[in-house]
Structure 1
């Protein structure tokens, strides 16, 4: 969480994140805390408000670094929440524009949710009208493709979503009594002209009785939005870790491992694919195996390359591999395919990095026809990889034969070939017919 001024802290938002089991690290820009150099190990990025301008470096020396961090988060699909100034920075980072507005909007005012809010992962079910706390004077134009979630008359862009994982809130939904007190203390002149910052907090925050949809205060909507954001962050943590690792490496991935292509071709040949069949590469990365899979199934067959990191699929397309295969962003634990859709699955260096290998194997069995093939591969052996990383082979390694064989047997597969040499790792399994499509 990037905090620009002491008064605009985590408050209710921080409470929701901690309640979801997340560890909150607050980067106090106002106190000189350095921004992280990358998002490695970061499960979400939250950028709070402040009096600075999103369109100028004047009085805002961290602006360039914050925009770079937001762009990195957008590229890796790291969940993002921008509040106040953070929302305007998010819009700029995504390709929008921020500029000076027509004057300050400070205090409580109504915003209205729009049609897109009804389908939004955070705002679905929010009241149509909501009284929220404003403190801003700048305006912004959203980038193409952004979804406008809430508006008001003076400044139409009040809440928006960019892509499927980044949200901006121009208003301060995180307010509670502590936040209001901090605002009054930090900005006495603005508080003096604002309508009821401390004394007229609406709805449940002022003890004024039950809320109705037509005059809802921030409490219920705040809990809804922040609770959903925190749950989304926690649920995507494993994917986020994968994406933050691979996204900055995607452009150089193919060149770095180009020498491995002949080994991939030889491994795919061991699958025994036939013309007209369907082949699937799970965790395809830059698509090194896709041309060989296409050669195996021929022009009338189908090849799908699946990865959870969009940047890797972009690299695959750049290498010309969108022609041999259909490229798909998907979670290999929940494939968007019907039962028995594929005849062969190729997967290189994926299974032992998954949070739940047995669950993945069961899902892979579901989408494979009886007698279909699963080929687990790596262009170096287990011992060589362990030595490269300066560690011994672990007896708990899921790719070790004593662990892999029963895991395959219990999840719809039968191991028929296991080779772990200094040159490569290869395990070939066949889809068990008696458990087909369970």
Structure 2
């Protein structure tokens, strides 16, 4: 996993930060941001850490390197790449999100002075949980969405600075753990967020293939059907047509931008859109009659775990349809590579994996124009 560290002073990154990130066996890439040394983009980056002294830069002050860094941070926020801002880095992070460091009008050269308000969610926050009231007295810690955190460091010496320095050392270890746990979704979100707005228009021609695939699921009116990794929800209208108005259609994806695009083109008329990990579904056991998954299983790092979860939520007569609007050979040729014998969708691999996770393969159709595998719950 790669972590970009943006430094703003020779000693801007405390040794605790470096030690925590290195202990997590992360690929650390250090850039001297204040000197204009920045990565071109965040491709392949799992997290960003922005460090610096407590010295404040006036919000809104512009320079080529500062503007480029803010643009990089905005890109991280948009694609939900985890970001940790410390000291000056927290101020820059807040500015990238459209805010700024709170100020005391009488001592405006110092960031983080002013009223501190603790909200209940801080008690369960993955980074700040356990921070006592005395730790954040006149110290500001904040979270932006679910992927960015900032901690401002007081300039003056005293109990507040001692407490926050202790947290400045603790947070990187927690952040490293969070980055490791989210790495698979970070890459997915970064890839699809950049493509979400154009996704439906680009692949709309595949809609008839999706409709034909859904027709082979065997759904009945009144049942519950889910589209996992739904993207813009191309399969959802077909699912709705088969389960009828009395049925339920749910579309799950881990990328906010894809769900936003799905809502914008009206897919909420076919069902509900939910943000969730397909391997940890917020569904009751035995509550789903049909699972549609297009281009998903072979991209998951732990496909067996996902299949077990899908079996958990499936009703006794539940069906699973794995689909892609192109066959395995065609996709391999498109990417300039031969078919891999380790491909999880190859029948010698897929059938025993389904057997081991509670499914029975009933249809395997790897044609030039599509891939389709249908399975039913074996219990």
Q: Which residue of 2 aligns with 1:166?
A: 148
Among 5, 9, 19, the residue aligned to 1:5: 9
Inter-partner Cα distance in structure 2 for 1:8 and 1:419: 57
Matched, 1:314 2:260: yes
Aligned to 2:269, the other structure's residue is in SS state coil
* Structure 2: distance between partners of 1:77 and 1:47: 15
Partner of 2:358: 412
- Map 1:1-400 onto structure 2 (within 5 A): 1-33=5-37, 35-49=38-52, 51=55, 53=57, 55-58=59-62, 60-97=63-100, 102-103=106-107, 114-116=118-120, 117-130=122-135, 150-152=136-138, 158-171=140-153, 195=157, 217-218=163-164, 220-400=166-346
- Supply the RMSD in Å over aligned alpha carbons: 2.6
1:344-392 superposed Cα distances (whole Å, 9 cap, x missing partner): 0000000000010011001001000112110000000000000101111
Alpha-carbon spacing, 1:355–1:54, altered in 2? closer, same or farther (3 Å): farther
Aligned-partner Cα distance in 1 for 2:89–2:67? 13
Q: Is the CA contact 2:76–2:83 (under 8 Å) kept in the aligned structure 1?
A: yes
Which deviates more from structure 2 when the two are superposed, residues 274-283 or residues 46-55?
46-55
- SS, match of residue 69 in structure 1: helix
Question: Residues of 1 paired with 2:150 and 2:337: CA distance?
Answer: 43
TM-score by structure 2 length? 0.91
Which consecutive residues of structure 1, in runs of 5 or more, have no partner in the other structure?
131-149, 173-189, 203-213, 434-438
C-alpha deviation, 1:92, in angstroms? 2.1
Q: In 1, Cα distance between the equivalents of 2:109 and 2:216?
A: 67
Q: Aligned with 2:330: secondary structure? A: helix
**1:110 to 1:253, Cα distance in 2 relative to 1, 3 A:** closer
CA distance in 2: counterparts of 1:312 and 1:408, whole angstroms: 28
Q: Is the 8 A contact 1:129 1:216 kept in 2?
A: no
Deviates more, 1:396-405 or 1:98-107: 98-107
TM-score between both structures, scaled by the size of structure 1: 0.79
Cα distance in structure 2, aligned partners of 1:112 and 1:312: 36
Aligned length: 372
